[in-house]
Homo-oligomer: A and B are copies of this chain.
């Protein structure tokens, strides 16, 4: 244990180079498919440096999750754009991820860690589960202002439900794109976005009708 304390003040550039390399490899090769040697090669640093900056593979991936999360938090401020879901699905087209986009890349890591259940207990997977929870909370906070108050009064969880549905659709279409499904992602992006909007409108109408009866 000759490692430095886990603070980021010293030479952040090499550490970032390693994280960027790991991210690029992870989104195409998965956790087991990403090797420390390859991470080193791609980052332009020797293996020793990787192990100086990160204790081991688990910790590297764990910090990779945080790295993406920090970027995501910085990007996703302010009220949600109505087109957010539409754009995220449309962006799936081709099934390739741009690792430059840390926020987007997080959700690919998410798919990896969700599926490899053998990694239960793995530091990185546990961190993923924790960060995912936090991201959902933040997304719910941003989506709720778009839900009519009358709906939330009846079903306080409705905002969360729309977030969950949006995530499921985005993940599902990313899988489709990665499987070479020959479909028009723009059309499905529109379809999904309008379906969610329709659900909100329908629920609002139902609540209004209910109140009428009172």
CA distance A32 to B29 in the complex (A): 9
Q: Is the CB of A164 within 8 A of B181?
A: yes
Which chain B residues border A95 with CB–CB below 8 Å? 114, 117
Tell whether A121 is near chain B: CB-to-CB under 8 Å. Answer: no
List residues of chain A with CB under 8 Å of any chain B CB: 28-30, 32-33, 95, 108, 110-118, 128-129, 132, 136, 160-161, 164-165, 167-173, 175-176, 178-181, 183, 187-188, 191-192, 195, 198-199
Q: Is the CB of B180 within 8 A of A176?
A: no
Number of copies: 2
Q: For A191, give its contact among B129, B136, B165 (CB under 8 Å).
A: B165
CA distance A199 to B183 in the complex (A): 18
Q: Nearest CB to that of A29 among chain B residues?
A: B118
Q: Nearest CB to that of A28 among chain B residues?
A: B117
Main secondary structure on chain A at its contact with chain B?
helix
Which chain B residues border A32 with CB–CB below 8 Å? 30, 32-33
The answer to whether A179 and B129 touch (CB under 8 A), given A172-B172, A198-B198, is yes
Q: Nearest CB to that of A179 among chain B residues?
A: B114
Which chain B residues border A110 with CB–CB below 8 Å? 175, 179
Q: For A175, give its contact among B111, B183, B187 (CB under 8 Å).
A: B111
Which chain B residues border A199 with CB–CB below 8 Å? 191, 195
CA distance A128 to B169 in the complex (A): 22
